[in-house]
Structure 1
Amino acid sequence: MLQAPAEIIELVDKFERNINAYKNPSYKEEQLKQEFINPFFKALGWDIDNTTGAAPQYRDVIFEDSIKIAGGTRAPDYCFTLAGRKMFFVEAKKPSVNIDKNIKPSYQLRRYAWSAKLPLSILTDFEELAVYDSRTTPKKTDRTTTGRIKYLTYKDYVDQWDYLYNTFSKDAVLKGSYDKYAETTKKKKGTTLVDDEFLSEIETWRELLAKDIALRNSDLTVDELNYSVQQIIDRIIFLRMAEDRGAEKYGQLQKLLNKQAIFQELCEIWKSADEKYNSGLFHFKNEKTQKSPPDTLTPQLEIKDGIFKQIIKNLYYPDSPYEFSVLSPEILGNVYEQFLGKVIRLTTGHRAKIEEKPEVKKAGGVYYTPQYIVEYIVENTIGKLCRDKTPQKVSELRILDPACGSGSFLLGAYNYLLNWHLIYYSNLKDKNRLKDQIYKGKNNEWHLTIKEKKRILLNNIYGVDIDRQAVEVTKLSLLLKVLEGENRDVLEAQQKLYKERALPDLENNIKCGNSLISPEIYNNQDLQFTAEELKHINAFNWNNEFGDIMDNGGFDTIIGNPPYGAILSNNESIYIQNTFVLQDYQLDTYLLFIERSIHFLKDNGLFGMIIPNTWLLNFKIENIRRYIFSNTEIVKVVHFLFYVFKATVDTEISIIKKASPKKNHQIKIEIIDKDRNIDTHNIKQVNWIDKGGKPVNIFEKQEFITITDKMKNLDKLDELFLIRQGTKPFQKGKGKPPQTEKIVQEKPFVSHIKNDVTFRPLLRGSMMHKYKIKWDNDYWISFGDWLAEPRYSANYDAPKIIIRQTGDSPIATIDNSKFIVRDNLYAITTKKDELNEIDLRYILGIINSNLIKWFYQKILNPEKGEALAQVKRGHIAQFPIKVPILDDEIDKKQYELMVNLVNQMIQLNTDIDIARTPQDRELMQRQIDATDKQIDKLVYELYGLTKEEIKIVEDMG
């Protein structure tokens, strides 16, 4: 039990002695902060006064993120951070406020924290302290107890110090205790993340706008309709966020609710915004400085007032749960990534209909890149290139995302550069000459001028995407980042000073086009294009669009999360096969992006992307692998032992430098498990180069190579045997009995099983164990074409080895043609005539051996201890098998010994289940363990392992 420190005991005593004075309404909130709340959190280890001199964005505590509520400026008083990441808010009230009963303070706090996507936050007046779970959507009708998971008074602080320290101290946050507590207190029911809620909100807007605009503007094409709806939504979001951030007058949109012809009034606000911001988002007239054509379409539309009343009403306190000042561009990007997965279609009657895009449907949804992935890639590419440079040198860096989507990587890159510049300038002694770069704001802290933020954005950040809407969203996110931390006074002062509008025009930086297809595709006389296909292809000329960059050798950094397996038209496939020199297999778009990215990189430039791990493992992609191994320096590969995205794709971050690999270059390998534990080792790149373009395995540590080399030279299991997944059960609509699986309640069989010859004994995963099947005449399946996937090729009537799918290592037994096996099992049968004389029990002993378990867990699929670990067919296929030569005396002797040992194991595992005394079971278990050891010893001999190598296997951990 952790004892409360002396300063906490003194604070409690002090408050007790003078409680009446502190509860007097004249006692100010600011006094409370200085006398009680600041010392309270100092005792929890937080550097409240920034004694370390950290840059503003990296302070332990950030004060008063400006927020507007009901027309007045309010803020969560404290934002506690860790390395720039917001952890929790603390909202302070003076003691005269009754936190336990007054609804408004808890509603305010929960709106702050929910909008910022923080799990927990604290409301306190020191007399009381309430901890709130912030993951449920706040409603104005909520009670003070809604979401409240802890309530203390000042009298509890000493006794509850253990809880307070182990949850909210800086030490607890550093050690992950805060995150664990947040997870354990999470209530699954009713939990709605802000991005899910806001996605639902703007999807409602899209449907309302699309249907009304299509109805009232019958001459619009489907492309014009999509464009108009997107522009209207983007402009409303931008202005509403600008209001809460102080860049626009609060409530200007809300005032439209009392007016007629709301859309025309809204257009006037947008035109004023054009004068202020100069952003392409508000571009309604021709200007010499902007090469893109203005929007002359949307101002001419007819839209009824009721649509905007419904939209705008839900954007303001108290009806709105959103606090747009803390709704970050990163969260907005997540929302938009999902939003862009659907598109508006027009029916024959010119009615609007919202549909999922075909490519999204094929992929099973939209998968947004988590922020920690973005930050890691940015740190290991842009971070490395910025090291030891001056701002002048950093300004020369050109950073590209060639499939930018909603802009998450470009936003991460821009945020990194903003922080880098601010830290650099803040550390300079002579700041007087930096008036164009920084200025001193509240609390005497330095900030980048909006001029400098614009310069950095225009100099460094570039992106391309085939989706026009995605391009506009990327621009929107970046522009909102420029405005972050700004207010109207600062904007107006800087506009007067620099005589330029507030935001940059990103038309030359973020472009719409197909990164993989150049206009050369149209030169092929054999290809014919429809108008729709021309629009879909959207060929992009890199030399024209980014001429200066390409003339100077290309981009310094290319980052992102390219599309995997995207749909390509026949014409695109033909073009790519004739143009991309490294492709020699069925096309996958992420590999095309790798090739294109390396081509567009400068010498010594850095590539950083999160991609599937098949680029290292697929046998059919030798050309690109050979090129990468021999012509680039692979800096780092970070492999995740969990699914980063909702899709079941094994992914890894690859950091690659465009440079010839040095002779002794070591590739750093990081393996990250679901608990974020990192296992690190190095691999010599020359080992991969020596393999040419052959597949390589990142789990193969240096000390494993002598063992794996012996194993990899042997035949693979799938070269010798058929490996088939079991039967997938009944599928509705295929016209067989209503129940194809039957647990038999009586013995003998119930009548319809007894009389139906289609019923066969079924083995499920839970019934199968190492060397043993536990089936008691109790599970059957009606087997035939009516099943979802019968998988006749599994050859159920032949003798077979069965391997269980669930688990972190292979577990196998043998079946002599009795069972149909379920789809959570694999059936292995002989496929080569010359192997018919090999007893399957020999193969079974090898599969169940310690050596194969080690090879599986250390080399093929390190998921040891994972709750949802699965043995995949692709991994089973790679099991190396020592095929005995039965004409060889030594081989034959080892073969016969293995068959005998496995026979013993099968019999012992049968006998132990029918043993009637504990003594007999214990005796048999000892025999099983001893026989298992004999099999392991024999396998080590078969594979030629030395004593040192055996020790490595036995010490697998």
Structure 2
Amino acid sequence: MSILSRIYENFLQEEIVFDNKYIVKLEKTKSAKIKAVVSTPDSIVKLMVQRTLGEKIEGLSPDQIMDLKIGDLAVGSGIFLIEAYNYLENYLVDWYSTKEGVVATPYSVPFKVKKTIVQKVFRGFDINNQAVQLTKFSLLLRLLSYEDKERIMEISPLLPSLEETIICGNSLVDERDVDITAMSYEESEDIVPMVNQVFDTIKFDVIIGNPPYLQTKEIIESTSNIEINVYKTKYSSVYKQYDKYFMFIERALELIKKDGFTILLVPNKFFTVGAATKLREFITQKYGLTFIIDFKTTQVFHGVINYVAIVQFGNYSDKTFQYSVADSVDSAFEIENGLIYDITKLETSHWFLTQDIKLRNQYEFAMEHFPNIETAVVPVNGIQTSANNVFLIEKKYIVEETKENIIFEVNKKKRIERFSIEKSLLKDFYQTPPKVQGRSYMPLIANKYVIFPYKNGKIIDYNTMEDKYPNTLEYFTNHKQDLLPKVMGGKRDVQYCVEWYQYGRTQFLKESNVDKIIVGVMTNQPNFNIDRKRMLIASGGTAGYIALMKKEDSPYSLEYIQAWLSHSFTDMIFQTIGSSFEGDFYTHGTSMYEDIPLLPIVFSDSYQKEKYDKIVSCVKKIEEINQQIESGLNSKELKFREKQKNAHISNINEIFDELIQFKVENKGE
């Protein structure tokens, strides 16, 4: 059956098309372009079926099994239903052989029982008709396996009809969700709304599967506005940058019986990302979990990078579930018990899930007794120019510098062009190459400038640019086609457009005038550094940098905050609630800080104040060492200064360890 699933996957990768000259050629299908076709590894399917059906059918008779309803809402090649059938058949082989006292063989199960199971127990749905036909064929082929002529020659009809059980239709959209009278035939064929009666008349004991993973951008590219509007009105999980599998989780939970459950292979990012906040609320408030097997960054798909977990959901009065981590599919089979969590105690902003019970207990203590770090800092995104190719200038291209201007050259269409920019409109821009990874307590060096046509957070008007900054205006004019906003006939996305040369967004225009902590969003270690040069940064998604701005009324210095965020305890929190990626990388985005505790200092307590002052002093000494390193040192002295710096970092971490222990012993005081 796995061979058929591979054939199905390849079939959906390419299609025959005719171009304008009626020449036949192969092109990637829409599904392939948006990476919607990925078959589930056989071993994962076996694991999920074993974990689910083993619990569900234990002790059941054949008649009771034939009353079950097992469904897959995105059936694909039918691999989950085939494996579910295998499991049921093996169970019945043992049941009949035990009852009759004979050797267990596939012939132990009457063919009529097998036929009834295929026809009555399984339900499969898919928007792709080829998938539906393949699933029907696979199920019928599996039904006939191990049979011989003598056992089936008297049975008529030999094969069951699956027309009403394996159905081509949209599991997320029913006919009642759309106005059929207002739709074109093409729209109907694209959406394939499910006939209302299909889900009105059935509730499932088990829903199993691997739903499609499609980010919001990919949904917009591949889905009609009619269907997207249904998503927005029908599913509470459609929130911010949602993913299609969010809705499949929600739909599956709505379709199970009170004692039913659903087990799905889904990306593990829904545990933590902000876009899944509403989904987490839906699960915790209305339903529950039995277990999570988290593969973290272990890859289970062939040729496709996805970070996934096996999650079993259901209607459970017991609000506890087990969480475990598997570093391979084989090790997942060996998992018996995980760390027990109470779903009612999980925050909707992030689910803090770890196998480390000590870390979990420390985190729960800190969240109960420590303030949130956002009481001391405000996390903000950097600038968004929406035209970095124009606004950013690499310093290596500067060929001349005067008191008022810099002059740089660019290679444009095989010719060298020279431009002049007023220095007063330039700010250092901090950006590292993708493969260069930063870490805490390192010097920040900007190798680029960004043109900053703003004063006090407001765009400099055209007349002022013409009068005071003619060189920069000339440069902008030379690149006007790249800068022109959509509202003025161009292509650039610019909010609140006043001048055609302004940034695409208005964020981080005033914050650039104060000291701050610059944070690497995607790193494999702590990467928090104090910026006293007031550089600009940019961020986007899981890339780039964000800034932490100290609140005016906060008694905590930037040095203390940097040191706390760089400590191993805080780093483990980021690793746990951040999105994980290959190479042990994890995120530090702006949405995470509401779940980051800040170790509080009672400044009137001499012991705590002394520890605080030592931490701040060590950080300042590290900054001094970094300045010495920047000025240029011979290799021998550089090695000594690095050794000094590491000693200060060790001292900081030891002091925090002592403070954490002190807080635990004194219940947070």
| TM-score of the pair, normalised by structure 1 | 0.51
1:851-871 per-position Cα deviation (integer Å, ceiling 9, x unaligned): 2223234554677xx635344
**Distance change >3 Å, CA 888–CA 726, structure 1 → 2:** farther
Q: Map 1:240-389 to 2 at 5 A.
A: 329-342=1-14, 356-358=28-30, 360-361=32-33, 363-389=34-60
Within the alignment, does 1:697 sit opposite 2:413 as a pair? no
CA contact (8 A) 1:717 1:876 kept: no
**Distance change >3 Å, CA 569–CA 631, structure 1 → 2:** same
Distance 1:667 1:906 in 2: 46
CA contact (8 A) 2:325 2:355 kept: no
Distance 1:926 1:349 in 2: 70
Of 834, 857, 866, 2:552 maps to 834
Question: Residue 897 of structure 1: CA displacement?
Answer: 4.3
Distance 1:840 1:419 in 2: 64
CA contact (8 A) 2:373 2:598 kept: no
Of 153, 159, 165, 1:509 maps to 165
Question: Residue 404 of structure 1: CA displacement?
Answer: 1.0
Within the alignment, does 1:801 sit opposite 2:472 as a pair? no
1:432-467 per-position Cα deviation (integer Å, ceiling 9, x unaligned): 9x9xx954xxxxxx8x67655434322322101122
Count of aligned pairs: 586
**Distance change >3 Å, CA 860–CA 514, structure 1 → 2:** closer
**Distance change >3 Å, CA 397–CA 718, structure 1 → 2:** farther
Of 525, 535, 548, 2:189 maps to 535
Distance 2:151 2:177 in 1: 47
**Distance change >3 Å, CA 854–CA 466, structure 1 → 2:** closer
For 1:853, what is the secondary structure of its paired residue? helix
**Distance change >3 Å, CA 459–CA 839, structure 1 → 2:** same
Within the alignment, does 1:606 sit opposite 2:261 as a pair? yes
Of 441, 453, 463, 2:124 maps to 463
Within the alignment, does 1:720 sit opposite 2:437 as a pair? no
Question: Residue 931 of structure 1: CA displacement?
Answer: 2.5
Listed as ranges, the gaps of 5+ residues in structure 2 are 401-405, 411-417, 453-478, 484-491, 494-502
Within the alignment, does 1:409 sit opposite 2:80 as a pair? yes
Question: Residue 499 of structure 1: CA displacement?
Answer: 4.3
Question: Residue 641 of structure 1: CA displacement?
Answer: 1.4
Distance 1:555 1:854 in 2: 39
**Matched residue, 2:568:** 850
Distance 1:751 1:522 in 2: 58
Question: Residue 812 of structure 1: CA displacement?
Answer: 2.9
Distance 1:692 1:883 in 2: 20
**Matched residue, 2:486:** none
CA contact (8 A) 2:270 2:276 kept: yes
Within the alignment, does 1:867 sit opposite 2:583 as a pair? yes
**Distance change >3 Å, CA 744–CA 484, structure 1 → 2:** farther
Amino acid at match of 1:477: S
**Distance change >3 Å, CA 917–CA 702, structure 1 → 2:** closer
Of 622, 632, 643, 1:905 maps to 622
Question: Residue 508 of structure 1: CA displacement?
Answer: 2.5
**Distance change >3 Å, CA 511–CA 827, structure 1 → 2:** closer
CA contact (8 A) 1:670 1:680 kept: no
Bigger radius of gyration among the two: 1
Within the alignment, does 1:640 sit opposite 2:295 as a pair? yes
1:246-303 per-position Cα deviation (integer Å, ceiling 9, x unaligned): xxxxxxxxxxxxxxxxxxxxxxxxxxxxxxxxxxxxxxxxxxxxxxxxxxxxxxxxxx
CA contact (8 A) 1:760 1:783 kept: no
Distance 1:370 1:571 in 2: 33
Question: Residue 507 of structure 1: CA displacement?
Answer: 1.4
Question: Residue 728 of structure 1: CA displacement?
Answer: 11
CA contact (8 A) 2:346 2:352 kept: no
Amino acid at match of 1:555: F
Amino acid at match of 2:213: Y
Amino acid at match of 1:412: E
Distance 1:728 1:501 in 2: 68
For 2:193, what is the secondary structure of its paired residue? coil
For 2:170, what is the secondary structure of its paired residue? coil
Question: Residue 839 of structure 1: CA displacement?
Answer: 4.5
**Distance change >3 Å, CA 430–CA 887, structure 1 → 2:** closer
**Distance change >3 Å, CA 359–CA 698, structure 1 → 2:** same
1:540-571 per-position Cα deviation (integer Å, ceiling 9, x unaligned): 24545784xx2xxx221111122334455444
Identity %: 23
Amino acid at match of 2:568: N
**Matched residue, 2:648:** 931
Within the alignment, does 1:668 sit opposite 2:326 as a pair? no
Distance 1:454 1:893 in 2: 78
**Matched residue, 2:205:** 556
Of 787, 804, 814, 2:530 maps to 814
Question: Residue 638 of structure 1: CA displacement?
Answer: 1.3
Distance 1:561 1:718 in 2: 41
**Matched residue, 1:184:** none
Higher deviation after alignment, 828-837 or 536-545 = 828-837
Question: Residue 872 of structure 1: CA displacement?
Answer: 4.7
For 1:660, what is the secondary structure of its paired residue? coil
CA contact (8 A) 1:400 1:555 kept: yes
1:207-243 per-position Cα deviation (integer Å, ceiling 9, x unaligned): xxxxxxxxxxxxxxxxxxxxxxxxxxxxxxxxxxxxx
For 1:516, what is the secondary structure of its paired residue? strand
For 1:366, what is the secondary structure of its paired residue? coil
**Matched residue, 2:310:** 653
Distance 1:771 1:692 in 2: 31
Amino acid at match of 1:404: V
Amino acid at match of 2:12: L
**Matched residue, 1:770:** 440
Question: Residue 396 of structure 1: CA displacement?
Answer: 2.3
Query: Aligned Cα RMSD in Å?
Result: 5.0
CA contact (8 A) 1:861 1:875 kept: no
Amino acid at match of 1:844: Q
Within the alignment, does 1:595 sit opposite 2:250 as a pair? yes
CA contact (8 A) 1:682 1:702 kept: no
CA contact (8 A) 1:671 1:680 kept: no
Question: Residue 400 of structure 1: CA displacement?
Answer: 0.4
CA contact (8 A) 1:391 1:421 kept: yes
**Distance change >3 Å, CA 387–CA 849, structure 1 → 2:** same
1:166-207 per-position Cα deviation (integer Å, ceiling 9, x unaligned): xxxxxxxxxxxxxxxxxxxxxxxxxxxxxxxxxxxxxxxxxx
Within the alignment, does 1:472 sit opposite 2:128 as a pair? no
Question: Residue 479 of structure 1: CA displacement?
Answer: 3.1
**Matched residue, 1:307:** none
**Distance change >3 Å, CA 429–CA 945, structure 1 → 2:** farther
**Distance change >3 Å, CA 391–CA 825, structure 1 → 2:** closer
Distance 1:411 1:762 in 2: 54
For 1:696, what is the secondary structure of its paired residue? coil
Distance 2:7 2:285 in 1: 40
